[in-house]
């Protein structure tokens, strides 16, 4: 059963069906139109009449809705969780989700395995779902101390069937990493686009924008609702990353103000060397997503 049959939930269903053609997937969501589209596209096999009905005899429950909706979903399903049912999520933040799950699920918390697939696209919704979205991608699981090893293994097995690579780490370490390499870049892209759009000459600026702007701003086309929720959920780690980035900007500003070409070039060379080295290492991987 999948709560939230959008890009991630829909792609998971398609990927699993590619490997397991007889798999039966039930979809649950807020918008009937979205679920009907998922049904029409054969992403899901049925729409649930209610959470209680959907939970009946469910082996695996995947919460693929925006992270802010996770507590409400956990409250809906908690009274209907069977002993065999494993629950997992796909949220981009993990510490907050673990806290919610522990408080809401009680003794059933051991059946919850927090997860985060490192895959996506600028477009959201079930129409953007595809069966190969997770091929070669990293899936991070962050089981808590109370999480059942058997439940963790079931979730690991599920993701391996999508041709993904699965690893484990603590929730706090996960949130620190992704605040730096994912959440902050999204905020920077949103900030740049908003800054330019607010100027009197915005039309002219966008009229001359080309490849560099397109590449940098691409992720600003992502779901605003999703990134609002992620930003608030990972607020502490993200604030620390913003402060760190601002310190680097201030250093660059000081070099520019002092007309320190040598210092600027040194910063640029270090960044260029690091980025090119990373891109080369990604290109060597058979399933790289550079």
- Per-domain residue ranges of the chain: 2-169, 173-258
CATH number assigned to the domain with residue range 2-169, chosen from the 4 options 3.40.640.10, 3.40.630.30, 1.10.10.10, 3.40.50.720: 3.40.50.720
User: pTM value?
Assistant: 0.87
| pLDDT given at position 99 | 96
CATH number assigned to the domain with residue range 173-258, chosen from the 4 options 3.40.50.2020, 2.30.110.10, 3.40.50.300, 1.10.3660.10: 1.10.3660.10
Q: Give the C-alpha separation, 124 to 224, whole Å.
A: 10
Place of tokens 């953007």: 128
Using 70 as the pLDDT threshold, list the residues of the chain that sit under it: 31, 121-122, 285-290
Condensed to tens digits (0 to 9), the pLDDT of residues 68-121 reads 999 999 999 999 999 999 999 999 999 999 999 999 999 999 999 999 999 876
Q: Give the C-alpha separation, 128 to 142, whole Å.
A: 27
Q: Give the C-alpha separation, 151 to 74, whole Å.
A: 17
Reported as half-sphere exposure (CB side, CA atoms, 13 A), residue 152 has a value of 16
Asked if 3 contacts 25 with a C-beta cutoff of 8 angstroms, the reply is no
| pLDDT given at position 155 | 98
Number of neighbouring beta carbons within 10 Å of residue 242: 16
Condensed to tens digits (0 to 9), the pLDDT of residues 51-72 reads 888 898 899 999 999 889 999 9
């Amino acid at each position: 059963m999948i709560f939230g049959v959008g890009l991630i939930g829909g792609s998971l269903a398609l990927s699993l069906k590619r490997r397991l053609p007889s798999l039966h997937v039930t979809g649950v969501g807020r918008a009937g139109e979205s679920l009907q589209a998922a049904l029409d596209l054969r992403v899901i096999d049925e729409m649930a009449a209610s959470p209680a009905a959907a939970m009946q005899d469910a082996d695996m429950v995947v919460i693929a809705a925006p992270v802010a909706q996770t507590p409400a979903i956990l409250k809906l399903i908690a009274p209907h969780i069977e002993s065999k049912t494993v629950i997992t999520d796909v949220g981009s933040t993990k510490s907050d989700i673990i806290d919610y799950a522990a408080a809401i699920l009680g003794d059933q918390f051991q059946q919850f395995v927090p997860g985060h697939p490192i895959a996506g696209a600028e477009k959201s919704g079930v129409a953007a779902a595809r069966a190969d979205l997770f091929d070669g991608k990293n899936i991070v699981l962050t089981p808590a101390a109370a999480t059942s090893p058997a439940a963790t293994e079931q979730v690991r097995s599920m993701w391996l069937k999508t041709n993904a690579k699965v690893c484990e780490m603590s929730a706090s370490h996960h949130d620190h990493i992704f605040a730096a390499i994912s959440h902050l870049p999204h905020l920077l892209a949103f900030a740049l686009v908003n800054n330019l759009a607010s100027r009197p000459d915005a039309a002219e600026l966008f009229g001359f924008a080309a490849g560099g702007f397109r590449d940098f701003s691409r992720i600003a086309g992502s779901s605003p609702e999703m990134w609002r929720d992620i930003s608030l959920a990972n607020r502490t780690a993200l604030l620390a990353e913003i402060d760190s980035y601002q310190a680097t900007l201030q250093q660059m500003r000081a070099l520019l103000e002092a007309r320190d070409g040598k210092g600027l070039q040194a910063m640029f060379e270090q960044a260029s060397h690091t980025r090119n080295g990373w891109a080369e290492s990604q290109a060597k991987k058979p399933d790289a997503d550079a």
